[in-house]
Amino acid sequence: MSRWQHVVPSGIVAAVGIWVCWISYTQQPAQAFLFPRLISTVFVVLALWTFGKAVLGWSRVGDGISRRIFINIAPGLLVLLIYVFWAARALGFYTAGTLAFFILLSLYDPAPHSEAKSWIKRAAITLGFLGVMYGLFAGVLNVFTPREVLFQ
């Protein structure tokens, strides 16, 4: 097993974490980014810790990311990139998040795609996800959510 199988993925995760953290600390209004700052700071600390362990050779668990695993997660990564770079801004936080969740659930749910029962179950789980997200952000945390096309 190559050491690079741990260094490269953890380095990419750390770089993305630093980028997200930097964005959360440089955007205005500051009050709207209070919760993202907290989460992204914790994320960066953990990502840098993991990256440091990989560089020092202390991460010898697992085989890294194989080609087969990468092929399995590639559709999810594509949905993530579309969500981050287009859908969240164009469709709004809740709408884009709901669509992304439903698509990911449909891609990775092992239930048959030919049965109506499994589609109803996916839709119900997605509505539950939307309810939890709304309740968490708007009700419990009382933080701002990105307001775009449908939630202005």
Mean pLDDT by 10 residues, the chain (152 residues): 78 91 83 79 94 84 76 92 86 88 94 94 95 82 59 43
> Can you give the residue range of the structural domain that contains 119?
71-152
Please report the pLDDT score of residue 143 as a whole number. 67
| Separation in Å, CA 16 to CA 47, 60, 85, 115, 124 | 9, 23, 13, 38, 32
- Note whether 52 and 93 are same-domain residues: no
pTM of the model: 0.66
- Note whether 78 and 56 are same-domain residues: no
The last residue of a domain, from among 65, 95, 114: 65
- Note whether 52 and 79 are same-domain residues: no
Rounded to whole angstroms, the Cα distance separating 112 from 100 reads 19
Please report the pLDDT score of residue 20 as a whole number. 86
Q: How wide is the angle at C-alpha 77 spanned by C-alphas 85 and 84, nearest 5°?
A: 20
- Note whether 106 and 141 are same-domain residues: yes
Please report the pLDDT score of residue 139 as a whole number. 77
CB neighbourhood size of 74 (10 A):
10
- Note whether 52 and 99 are same-domain residues: no
